[in-house]
Amino acid sequence: MQKQQTTRPLTAAKNYVTIVQQACDKVKGFSELYKELERSININGKSKSALTNYSRQLAHLALHYNRMPLDLDADQVMDYLHLVKSRGTESASFFNFTIHGMRYACKMRGLEYTQFSLPGLKGPRKLPVVLNGSEVKALLKACTLLKHRLIIGLCYGCGLRCSEVQYLKPSHIDLEREMLHVHQGKGSKDRCVPLGKLLCRGIRQYLIEEVPSKYLFENKAGDVMTRAGVLWIVKQAAKKARIIKNVHTHTLRHSYATHLLEQGINILVIKELLGHKQIETTMTYLHVARPMPCNVFSPLDTLYGID
């Protein structure tokens, strides 16, 4: 029987080996686990970022013990989570995705994840970081390249997630109608959002100058930009603009929603523009938006129509 060739997932730049590729090469059985994850996540309609996050954290765990994650005992998993937790708050997402990855892998293979004594993930809910108008302008002004300015402009001006910017295609843009079709966003949902005149003007110029083929924003190899690449653009602009807030791509999405709310857009409309499944998620912005100015009055006068 001919031995099946092992594919190397998440192909990266030349001479760079991703953590997932390392696990596939060094830990027996991890390549098969990755392919199962890829198939399951695709069939269940989960996002590409879910595959990236789950497989990356499972790879770290596998390389730490040089064993398959699902072959570990509860004490080994707890020791590893304790090590991750001790690194501080900056490892919170690393910690959470390790647990999510383990749970998903268990569910996929029909195992009870309770055997690993995985902790719950409920914790204090923090309010989102929001930029003010001056900070958004400074961020855009800090960009010397039109490509970088458009990436930041789309995150803020259309409330796009990082993955939605990454996989945006020229065919998703209707410059005549000034609309953007977000194709298969989080939860495999499509939505349309208005672009506005400034973004249309910039995109029109960019399409003429760069002539992208498959994706609107491509790396030097002509492939989709990495998540880290998009984040680097935002971070560099924030550093150059001397913004002291912790700015991520999602900070721009938070700012988009909050500014729309402050400008009187109905929260149900904002929910659809963001592609949220639950209104409760959108209502978070009620806690950070400035209250709309209004004249205080007695409801008794309103009841009787007294001016």
* Catalytic annotation, residues: 161, 186, 250, 253, 276, 285
Nearest by Cα to 126 from 278, 291, 288? 288
The three state secondary structure string of 197-261 is HHHHHHHHHHHHHHCCCCCCCECCCCCECCHHHHHHHHHHHHHHCCCCCCCCHHHHHHHHHHHHH
Query: Helix, strand, coil % (nearest 5) of the chain?
Result: 55, 5, 40
The partner residues of 174 in beta bridges, in order of sequence, read: 179
- Residue 218 phi/psi, 5-degree rounding, is -115, 155
Task: Please identify which residue in the block is written with the tokens 């929001």.
Answer: 130
- Residue 192 phi/psi, 5-degree rounding, is -120, 135
